[in-house]
Structure 1
């Protein structure tokens, strides 16, 4: 059921996923779904929780099987680029849609989204810190700045791939990532 809700939210936004609409999609009664979620806001939080769990399984967990340092950071980036093309998100990255929809809307859904994004930035920064420890990246690297730049490029990629440059967006994003990684490396 949450898989269907997630897929639908990528196409119509969190606001567009109502208990009634989801009930129709999954063939359940509206009252049955309402009993489960109790409110549209709880449904939105549940969709974001589902997305966060899938993100960890799709992006983070496989990357953490790679060697520490630059290989792991590269795997996080590669997996993240593949994320928005996942079959279970026919409308693209749910987090792009949620970011636009929730940026000025306080409440539990926004809080959950912000928490997930902070965790992701921390994961990226942490992977860069490990690359410093492994001596792949220079010791004076601002790992939080690296995480910010990678995050910004990836979200730009998600928009550009869907709207402006479907054929060239990934190549351009990878060029930008390579610049960041080259700048981060230990200088000989």
Structure 2
């Protein structure tokens, strides 16, 4: 049987971990995963270094946990709101619109977390790169599957290639994200939304 003091330590540890990850995803979205450190997070959150270290154990594990936390936030902001829709063109369009809202509303301070940290690790083999690549492929394949369903239902022009179209959609979304940040210009999202609607025209 677990005593009350052990329960309290576990609860405090979980609360510390949640607080650290809430801060780490925001730092990484602006400065990259390389900017994360046990010392910085402890200082930012006014926690002990040992308390933060106990929750992760290494910088790489902190980075991996940050990627996983960002993935849950992405799912909640982009995928979950449209999950109940039937597969097809309307769901693909809704998913892209949710992505634009996720970036525009700054769920992460630096726009899309995965766009921000992807370039940092795309040429650096290892577990962090693997985790980021898996997240990117899951997002691509989700869109591709919806476009295949749309094509099969006759909702897209004959000859539409779902893989190419998903590639173009993601390019439009990520360009809007990057340019809105670089130029401080939210109108880039309107341009991307128009592009998405053209690519998904029935």
Pick the structure with greater CA Rg.
2
- 1:53 to partner: Cα distance: 1.1
Deviation per residue, 1:19-72 (Å, 9 max, x gap): 111112222211222122111111111111111111111111111223431111
- 1:73 to partner: Cα distance: 0.6
Alignment match of 2:162 (pick from 143, 165, 168)? 143
Alignment of 1:65-84 (within 5 A): 65-84=84-103
Q: State the TM-score, normalizing by the size of structure 2.
A: 0.84
The aligned counterpart of 1:154 is 173
The aligned counterpart of 2:129 is 110
The aligned counterpart of 2:15 is none
- 1:149 to partner: Cα distance: 0.7
Deviation per residue, 1:68-93 (Å, 9 max, x gap): 31111111000000112345412221
Alignment of 1:90-101 (within 5 A): 90-101=109-120
CA contact (8 A) 2:104 2:177 kept: no
Q: State the TM-score, normalizing by the size of structure 1.
A: 0.90
CA contact (8 A) 2:25 2:108 kept: yes
- Superposed CA RMSD in Å reads 1.6
The aligned counterpart of 1:55 is 74
Separation (CA, whole Å) in 2 of partners of 1:131 and 1:88: 29
Which consecutive residues of structure 1, in runs of 5 or more, have no partner in the other structure? Answer: none
Please list every run of at least 4 consecutive aligned residues from structure 1 whose deviation after the TM superposition is greater than 6 angstroms: none
- Within the alignment, does 1:131 sit opposite 2:150 as a pair? yes
Equivalent residue pairs, number: 183
